[in-house]
Structure 1
């Protein structure tokens, strides 16, 4: 009995140390990604927040030029921030995964560094930059009286977590198959732009007619954007959020992604 207890304790300690080690690896990869993408010149790491913010401001100005916004009661600034800014997260995580293995090929010499760690670090960095951009843009929109801070931030964070998970699962699949074929990598970028109209970033399920709503709801990100809208606008409550459906998609894609990167790891040439 005593020997069994000692064995279970040692296994727990081994698992704990393993998680601790991998967390340090992911942290180091995040810092490396920051240096690689933004460097230390000019404003340096602030580009993490400024880059998605500039894109969102540009889209917001386009809607201002077009005239009054279609969704009554929702300020233009807050609607775009809760839509396009989060879509930038989804697009960046998926698009950057296609070159993740090639850009970090030398790091795979170290057995402690895995493809999974590389993709996780990129997804965490994109999620963190989105949170910073949302806070900055919300404060800016509020000062200009065209928006306000999220009224239910915890609900928005739930939507952000689901969207990041979904994008990460897709990134694993794309990273694996783009290593086999360059065609997959070339098709991924236009596919992300084509998915924008049906992603839910610029639509509300609550205001759409029934047949069209059903077609849109088949795409799981529409559920995630509904959570984000509910978090942004305290008065908005959607009757068309199905978290089980969104989580199911994430679980299935994560399983496929884990199998894909495990298989491709054997074929990755480090030289």
Structure 2
């Protein structure tokens, strides 16, 4: 009897949490995109515009390949991971301050707001990847994904890591106004450690050891490993990530 009551209570709590997150997701979409133009489709459109734009520019600069790796999928995989990293962390800056009015509602916790924002970035950038990938694959402009399991596992590990960093950023920026000014400069300085612009195999052995200290590089390499398969050498460790 006690176990049944506990199970019922747990089920009710989970339903309430789901309803709260659903309401926060809808509110976040409305605040960010409203009803104008294409509305919430900008959630996919923003990262898609950046990725497609960079794909075009890199194609003019490098041609079809760079170090034997096709340019279009190289950019598509690299910038998709970079976008979720930058967007999710940026959205967590002053998250509590901007949504302080919501704490009037008893069911809403600070953590709920962070989860809602994280989910939006996770889903939006992943959809943007497939919106760009599917037409190119159908037109045989790029090769199909080799292993979806590895690729999507890398994606969710990357999102989990980024969410963890975002939690730290959200806390620090609430405690100090000054720290907010360092977030974007540090994000730019960390670009070489994201693995978005290169493959680890292209680097000298000494540089490889340095960049592989970065979990972001493991995420990018694993994501590309799932996409390219054995045709392109990748270096990653899922347990380290």
User: What TM-score range do you get, normalising by the shorter chain?
Assistant: over 0.9
Give the distance between the partners of 2:77 and 2:161, measured in 1 at CA.
Answer: 17
1:166 alignment counterpart: 161
Give the distance between the partners of 1:239 and 1:90, measured in 2 at CA.
Answer: 20
The correspondence for 2:81, drawn from 78, 83, 86, is 86
Q: CA deviation at 1:141?
A: 3.2
How do residues 246-257 of structure 1 correspond to structure 2 at under 5 angstroms?
246=241
Judging changes above 3 Å, is the alpha-carbon distance between structure 1 residues 59 and 144 closer, same or farther for their aligned structure 2 residues?
Answer: farther
Partners of 2:222 and 2:235 within 8 A in 1: no
The correspondence for 1:154, drawn from 149, 163, 175, is 149
Is 83-92 or 205-214 further displaced after alignment? Answer: 205-214
Give the distance between the partners of 2:157 and 2:50, measured in 1 at CA.
Answer: 22
Q: CA deviation at 1:191?
A: 1.4
1:45 alignment counterpart: 40
SS of aligned partner of 1:245? coil
Scaled by the length of structure 2, what TM-score is found? 0.92
Give 4+ residue runs of structure 1 displaced > 6 Å after superposition.
none
1:27 alignment counterpart: 22
Q: CA deviation at 1:101?
A: 0.9
1:70 alignment counterpart: 66
Scaled by the length of structure 1, what TM-score is found? 0.82
Partners of 2:221 and 2:234 within 8 A in 1: no
Q: CA deviation at 1:186?
A: 1.4
The correspondence for 1:108, drawn from 103, 108, 115, is 103
1:13 alignment counterpart: 8
Give the distance between the partners of 1:160 and 1:169, measured in 2 at CA.
Answer: 14
Give the distance between the partners of 1:204 and 1:132, measured in 2 at CA.
Answer: 24
- 1:119-178 CA distances to partner (integer Å, 9 max, x unpaired)? 111111111111211111113434665424423222111011011101111111111110
Give the distance between the partners of 2:232 and 2:7, measured in 1 at CA.
Answer: 43
SS of aligned partner of 1:14? helix
Q: Confirm or deny that 1:227 pairs with 2:228.
A: no
Give the distance between the partners of 1:98 and 1:148, measured in 2 at CA.
Answer: 38
Q: CA deviation at 1:193?
A: 1.8
Judging changes above 3 Å, is the alpha-carbon distance between structure 1 residues 232 and 224 closer, same or farther for their aligned structure 2 residues?
Answer: same
Q: CA deviation at 1:244?
A: 1.6
1:265 alignment counterpart: none
The correspondence for 2:178, drawn from 177, 183, 198, is 183
Q: CA deviation at 1:229?
A: 0.3
Give the distance between the partners of 1:210 and 1:16, measured in 2 at CA.
Answer: 52
The correspondence for 2:199, drawn from 172, 183, 204, is 204
- 1:39-60 CA distances to partner (integer Å, 9 max, x unpaired)? 1111111111111011112212
